[in-house]
């Protein structure tokens, strides 16, 4: 190599290094920003919010609530609670475990114990009581029956328990199943209107909770009314009042909050749940928790998690349907509440230090009357009559006594001991039951224990969702699926719980200016993806049973 060529190579190296300075510096900035952990992860679950409602009313939202999430966050239009029994407890369990029921063990709000045949509530544990409040045996006081850990548990493990995980909800299961094993849950008390924790978490409330309870914020709504927020023309597309004789509550404003006794009592505090004031109280307590626990400003410099489950929308939709003016107005009011809460966090922590997740535990079917008016095949199914008829059919066919040991829809338990005593084969009885049920109105599919244990189910999405929802040790021996727009129940209102899109398709929005790329995402996503995604951002291991994916396309 000549001297000149050596000089030329040196010059080339210098040129390449110089030309790299600007792009290298630019590329390093996002990498450095991405390495910064959020100070607070805010996980919000709106109980009973179908994704379609978020879209249907989008143009009426203000600037700072749902609209802010949709415009500044990554929003998934095709996100689902991807299990076949879509109820509150299962949906909340999915959010921060990243797991399906067949692993996390919460197979319903209630289920039948396979040995005692008694109803088990998802968060009951008689070893613990509410702090300073009356506690019934079936009240939710602990996460004992949740068989896996959560993102919050992993964050506390990684930080040596210095990260704080707090969850608050209008329902005990909403708070407990977000708080996980090592967080702290606070829930609304029907008898007093307080938010309280249980002895599972602590012996006595901290001072900030005692100070908050002493102000009695729940009493300020006595004698007040819930009236429409917007002009009448804004509700023109909502369903008309339900027909006379439907048995449903009259869809009529105003709704008044009082007690027949004229006093502040359990009747009044119970009424507060079916309307916007419960959600306002929940957010007020969440604000008190941020200040009382100094969330987002942890002295150890580690991230904190705040879970907020807003329960009132579920109560409103159950009573009147997601097509109603009440549901419409409640969502508009919730939008304004969220805007105020985000504004508060902006001032206290700075929203550029916060990652927000918004989702729901399940969607909702329209009321049967509304669906019928849309020329859809829709009915309510009286499960007691259906089970009585099935029991009689099996008794007549096999010439034995009562073969149905119990039922809590969509699960049915068979008396296998009686089956064996009479020399019958389990699968023959299961199949006979399934054939009979499929011949009854409104039943689309029946899965048997023999099928589910062997994984011998059709290769359909419905079967996948139902298999995920079935737990070998505690689920029933038959699992029923209604036809679309049919549901179990009698009387008024509507419900949820099916594997159909109106029950599974829920909002999934992530917002955080340093970590999340804004924009609509058309990819399929599941609620179980939330925990692995947050684990990735927080640089902690995912919960043990998590099966979701990291939503990489939404990350900066």
Over the stretch 128-158, which tens digit does the pLDDT of each residue have? 999 999 999 999 999 999 999 999 999 999 9
Tell whether 32 is covered by a domain: no
**Regarding beta strands 184-188 and 165-169, do their DSSP bridges make them parallel or antiparallel, or are they unpaired?**
parallel
> Is residue 332 scored above 50 in pLDDT?
yes
Which of 488, 522, 541 finishes a domain?
A: 488
Give the CATH number for residue 415.
3.30.1360.150
Q: What is the pLDDT of residues 398-425, one digit of tens each?
A: 999 999 999 999 999 999 999 999 999 9
Q: What is the mean pLDDT of residues 65-70?
A: 98
pTM above 0.85, yes or no: yes
- Computed over every residue of the chain, the mean pLDDT equals 93
Tell whether 425 is covered by a domain: yes
> Is residue 171 scored above 60 in pLDDT?
yes
User: What pLDDT score does 300 carry?
Assistant: 87
What lies within 8 Å, CB to CB, of 268 at 6+ separation is 193, 222, 257, 258, 259
Tell whether 316 is covered by a domain: yes
Q: What is the mean pLDDT of residues 348-362?
A: 98
Q: What is the mean pLDDT of residues 287-307?
A: 96
Which of 433, 462, 488 finishes a domain?
A: 488
R_g of the chain, CA atoms, integer Å: 26
Query: Tokens representing 455?
Result: 């994984």
Q: What is the mean pLDDT of residues 536-548?
A: 98
Tell whether 468 is covered by a domain: yes
What lies within 8 Å, CB to CB, of 422 at 6+ separation is 398, 400
As a whole-number percent, the residues of the chain with pLDDT over 90 amount to: 90
530 and 391 in one domain?
no
> Is residue 19 scored above 60 in pLDDT?
no
158 and 112 in one domain?
yes
Q: What is the mean pLDDT of residues 79-99?
A: 98
Query: Tokens representing 315?
Result: 């109560």
132 and 77 in one domain?
yes
What is the spatial distance between Cα 288 and Cα 46, in angstroms, rounded to a whole number? 20
Tell whether 15 is covered by a domain: no
Tell whether 35 is covered by a domain: no
Q: What is the pLDDT of residues 68-82, one digit of tens each?
A: 999 999 999 999 999
**Regarding beta strands 411-414 and 404-408, do their DSSP bridges make them parallel or antiparallel, or are they unpaired?**
antiparallel
189 and 101 in one domain?
yes
Residue 48's pLDDT band (cuts 50, 70, 90): very high
Tell whether 1 is covered by a domain: no
Q: What is the mean pLDDT of residues 522-539?
A: 98
241 and 119 in one domain?
yes
Q: Where is pLDDT greater, at 13 or 65?
A: 65
Annotated active-site residue 88? The verdict is yes
Q: Name the active-site residue from 22, 86, 88, 135.
A: 88
For the chain, what percentages of helix, strand and coil (3-state, to nearest 5) are there? 40, 15, 45
What is the spatial distance between Cα 413 and Cα 113, in angstroms, rounded to a whole number? 10
Torsion of Cα atoms, 94 then 95 then 96 then 98, to 10°: 50
285 and 143 in one domain?
yes
> Is residue 7 scored above 80 in pLDDT?
no
What lies within 8 Å, CB to CB, of 493 at 6+ separation is 248, 249, 318, 319, 320, 321, 367
454 and 510 in one domain?
no
User: What pLDDT score does 240 carry?
Assistant: 67
436 and 316 in one domain?
no
464: containing domain:
380-488
Give the CATH number for residue 229.
3.40.720.10
> Is residue 229 scored above 60 in pLDDT?
yes
Tell whether 17 is covered by a domain: no
284 and 249 in one domain?
yes
Q: Of 200-214, 248-262, 528-542, which range is least confident?
A: 248-262
Residue 5's pLDDT band (cuts 50, 70, 90): very low
305 and 419 in one domain?
no
83 and 146 in one domain?
yes
User: What pLDDT score does 299 carry?
Assistant: 85
The distance in angstroms from the start CA to the end CA of the chain is 46
Which of 437, 461, 488 finishes a domain?
A: 488
Residue 20's pLDDT band (cuts 50, 70, 90): very low
519 and 458 in one domain?
no
Q: What is the pLDDT of residues 230-263, one digit of tens each?
A: 999 999 989 865 544 445 455 689 999 999 999 9
Query: Tokens representing 304?
Result: 């904190």
> How many separate domains does the chain show?
2
Q: Where is pLDDT greater, at 512 or 245?
A: 512
The label of the residue with tokens 């009387």 reads: 491
Its sign, for the CA torsion 422, 424, 430, 435, is negative
User: What pLDDT score does 239 carry?
Assistant: 85
Q: What is the mean pLDDT of residues 442-461?
A: 97
């Amino acid at each position: 190599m000549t001297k000149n060529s050596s000089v030329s190579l040196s010059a080339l190296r210098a040129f390449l290094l110089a030309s790299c300075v600007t792009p290298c510096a630019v590329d390093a900035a996002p990498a450095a920003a991405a390495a910064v952990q959020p100070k607070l992860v805010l996980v919000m679950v709106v109980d009973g919010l179908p994704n379609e409602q978020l879209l249907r009313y989008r143009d009426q939202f203000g600037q700072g609530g749902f609209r802010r999430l949709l415009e500044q966050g990554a929003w998934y239009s095709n996100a689902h609670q991807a299990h076949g029994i879509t109820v509150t407890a299962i949906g909340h369990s999915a959010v921060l475990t990243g797991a399906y029921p067949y692993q996390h063990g919460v197979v319903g709000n209630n289920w039948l114990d396979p040995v005692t045949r008694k109803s088990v509530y998802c968060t009951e544990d008689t070893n613990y009581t509410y702090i300073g409040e009356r506690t019934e045996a079936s009240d939710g006081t602990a996460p004992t029956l949740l068989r896996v850990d959560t993102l919050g548990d992993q964050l506390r493990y990684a930080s040596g328990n210095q990260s704080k995980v707090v969850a608050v909800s209008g329902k005990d299961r909403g708070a407990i199943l977000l708080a996980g094993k090592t967080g702290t849950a606070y829930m609304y008390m029907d008898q007093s209107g307080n938010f309280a924790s249980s002895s599972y978490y602590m012996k006595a409330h901290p001072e900030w909770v005692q100070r908050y309870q002493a102000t009695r914020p729940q009493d300020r709504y006595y004698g007040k009314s819930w009236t429409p927020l917007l002009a009448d023309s804004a509700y023109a597309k909502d369903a008309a009042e339900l027909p006379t004789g439907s048995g449903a509550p009259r869809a009529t404003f105003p709704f008044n909050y009082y007690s027949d006794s004229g006093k502040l009592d359990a009747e009044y505090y119970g009424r507060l749940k079916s309307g916007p004031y419960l959600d306002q109280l929940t957010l007020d307590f969440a604000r008190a928790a941020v200040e009382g626990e100094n969330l987002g400003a942890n002295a150890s410099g580690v991230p904190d998690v705040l879970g907020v489950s807003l329960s009132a929308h579920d109560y409103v939709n159950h009573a009147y349907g997601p097509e109603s003016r009440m549901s419409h107005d409640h969502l508009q009011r919730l939008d304004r509440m969220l805007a105020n809460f985000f504004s508060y966090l902006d001032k206290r922590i700075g929203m550029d230090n916060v990652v927000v997740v918004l989702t729901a535990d399940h969607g909702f079917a329209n009321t049967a009357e509304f669906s019928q008016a849309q020329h859809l095949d829709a009915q309510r199914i009286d499960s007691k009559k259906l089970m009585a008829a099935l029991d009689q059919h099996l008794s007549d066919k096999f010439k034995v006594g009562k073969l149905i040991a119990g039922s809590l829809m969509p699960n049915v338990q068979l008396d296998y001991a009686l089956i064996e005593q009479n020399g019958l084969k389990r699968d023959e009885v299961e199949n006979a039951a399934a054939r009979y049920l499929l011949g009854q109105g409104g039943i689309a599919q029946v899965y048997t224990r023999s099928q589910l244990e062997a994984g011998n189910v059709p290769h359909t999405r419905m079967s996948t969702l139902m298999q995920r929802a079935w737990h070998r040790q505690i689920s029933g021996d038959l699992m029923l699926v209604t036809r679309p727009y049919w549901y179990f129940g009698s009387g008024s209102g509507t419900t949820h719980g099916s594997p159909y899109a109106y029950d599974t398709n829920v909002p999934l929005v992530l917002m955080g200016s340093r970590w999340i790329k804004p924009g609509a995402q058309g990819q399929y996503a599941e609620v179980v993806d939330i925990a692995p995604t947050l684990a990735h951002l927080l640089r902690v291991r995912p919960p043990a049973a998590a099966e979701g994916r990291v939503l990489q396309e939404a990350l900066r």
